[in-house]
Chains A and B, each alone.
Chain A
Amino acid sequence: MAYKIKASDCTACGACEAECPNGAISFKKGAYAINPSICTECKGQFDSAQCASVCPADCCVPA
């Protein structure tokens, strides 16, 4: 299970990248993306998905 970024709504602010505890988010080819093989949905680390909680555009969603 993993989260993904709805690219159409993303403002490319980078807030999610800084919060991800696993370094799953990176800026590639002009857009932020979540690497699904690294994303843990923050399970066992935090009560909520960090990227989704910080995203101002509410565009980090379960894949």
Chain B
Amino acid sequence: MGNVISLDSILGLGELKAPAETPVAAASGCVSSSCGSSDGPADMDPAVWEKVKNHPCYSEEAHHYFARMHVAVAPACNIQCNYCNRKYDCSNESRPGVVSEKLTPDQALKKILAVAQEIPQLSVIGIAGPGDSLAANGKNTFKTFEMLQKKAPDLKLCLSTNGLALPDHVETIARYNIDHVTITINAVDPEVGQHIYPWIFHDHRRWTGLDAAKILHERQMLGLEMLTSRGILVKVNSVMIPGINDEHLLEVNKAVKARGAFLHNIMPLISDPAHGTHFGLTGQRGPTAQELKALQDQCEGGVKLMRHCRQCRADAVGLLGEDRGDEFTLDRIEAMGEVDYDAEAARTYREHVENERAGRHAAKAAAQAEVVETVGDTVQPILIAVATKGGERINEHFGHAKEFQIYEVGPKGAKFVGHRRVDQYCEGGSGDEDALDTVLSAINDCAAVFVAKVGGCPSKKLEAAGIEPVDRFAFEYIEESALTYFKDYAERLSQGAINSRAGQDAVIRTGAFTARRA
């Protein structure tokens, strides 16, 4: 299990910067922590914050600290999407709807308890498929939640659905205290929807074309309204499909905001002929990193955007960005015998995070105030790629990073804007050329890459590509470091020592994210 985020990479290392004199209110223009979905209590309803603060998918801040686990108990589906192929099942893949292990509710319960035992960061149990969690009457989904609630009532429950069957199940969802629901909504206009959904199964028959898209749309909107009116938090996922719904997603953003959605998560289409999906076979491409970011930026101001979604597999285990599923295979779980649930470790961990948070909010505000003072607001923001294992710190080796978190830093503060997957570039010690090129193309729009450590050879290549490798902030907090770097960058820029790096784009890498560990 070597590379798992260890508690001491979160605890202890590096000191908290002195708490800010700056009152939080003074910094409320757009501090890092009030952009995107990373808001703290300052501008969020306390009741909502209470629900999301430990949920890695709903709170950008929590995703540095808490782990989620998906159990694949729902293989059936009631619609067909052009980006999904239900026959496909490959353990080297990492996208929704793909899973290698289907579980019965009993097996799922056992697996959850075993994982909770070993990973105190675990705070959320989700059911996201591999089909639709509410298809086939949601039988397995609700059975699993029912048992779980009795055994481990402190774990949060969530589910994802395409929305078709949602209105029929809102009562049950409320009854089981499921306080987060994700609906995948790719269109709010059947004209657009018909190019994404070839058919649906509803009211005992198969519908196609415009009819199918219209029914699905109406059911999604109804389900969304029913949930939000009951105070259940709803996140909307949309898959960005260039040429089909890319511009239309602005409309989706407005429509779901009007109906009370809490977060909107725009994900890139994952498309490859080898997946055998309709889009894969017809050569429909996914968006580039800058196309995705441009759309996300345009939606800013609408429903809060979630930029940290990893499009996890339906059986993912661990912190976002890692998947420890391989450690908890069915065979291993079966061999464990009875597993008891002990909430103590989880409670201690949650208390630690509470303490850490208070200091973090103040430190970020202070660092940002300093930048505004010294840099002014004329310098263009830059992107920085960060190698991290979690805990909001720069604590990963360049060669070990399986993904880079992307921060935009400028006079308005530092904010998390996304993540880029890369192949594990360094398996044994000697870097491999092609893999390094992959990393370069994935972070080509960044001015610098922050790492805990980086070798001499990749360092040179990065510099040659115009991306500065930076290891002087090793084990420090990401946002404060980014701001310090930006201050320095602005100074060098004004002295003409460097040129600004604008107009670059990067490639979104999909698949290849199994995070298998030696």
Residues of A within 8 A of B (CB): 9, 11-15, 17-19, 46-48, 50, 53-54, 56-57
With the chains together, A56 CA to B89 CA distance in Å?
Answer: 14
Instruction: Indicate if the CB atoms of A15 and B205 lie closer than 8 Å.
Output: no
CB distance from A12 to the nearest CB of B (A): 7
Instruction: Indicate if the CB atoms of B75 and A18 lie closer than 8 Å.
Output: no
CB-CB contacts below 8 Å: B73-101 with A: 75-78, 80, 86-87, 89
Binds A, one of B20-28, B111-119, B130-138: B130-138
Which partner residue on chain B sits nearest A15 by CB separation?
A: B76
Q: Per a CB cutoff under 8 Å, which of B87, B89, B102, B135 touches A15?
A: B135
With the chains together, A47 CA to B203 CA distance in Å?
Answer: 11
With the chains together, A11 CA to B17 CA distance in Å?
Answer: 55
CB distance from B227 to the nearest CB of A (A): 23
CB distance from A23 to the nearest CB of B (A): 14
With the chains together, A23 CA to B161 CA distance in Å?
Answer: 26
* Interfacial chain A residues near B87, Cβ < 8 Å: 9, 11, 57
CB distance from A22 to the nearest CB of B (A): 13
* Interfacial chain A residues near B77, Cβ < 8 Å: 13, 15, 56
Which residue, of A18, A19, A54, has the highest number of chain B Cβ atoms within 10 A? A54
With the chains together, A11 CA to B75 CA distance in Å?
Answer: 9
* Interfacial chain A residues near B137, Cβ < 8 Å: 18
Given known contacts A56-B80, A57-B86, A15 and B136 CB-to-CB distance under 8 angstroms: yes
Instruction: Indicate if the CB atoms of B205 and A46 lie closer than 8 Å.
Output: yes
Given known contacts A12-B75, A48-B205, A56 and B86 CB-to-CB distance under 8 angstroms: yes
Which residue, of B75, B102, B204, has the highest number of chain A Cβ atoms within 10 A? B204
With the chains together, A15 CA to B77 CA distance in Å?
Answer: 7
Q: List 27 A-B contacts (CB under 8 A).
A: A9-B87, A11-B89, A12-B75, A12-B102, A13-B75, A14-B75, A14-B76, A15-B76, A15-B77, A15-B78, A15-B136, A15-B201, A17-B136, A18-B135, A18-B136, A18-B137, A18-B139, A19-B136, A19-B201, A46-B204, A46-B205, A47-B204, A48-B205, A53-B201, A54-B206, A56-B80, A56-B86
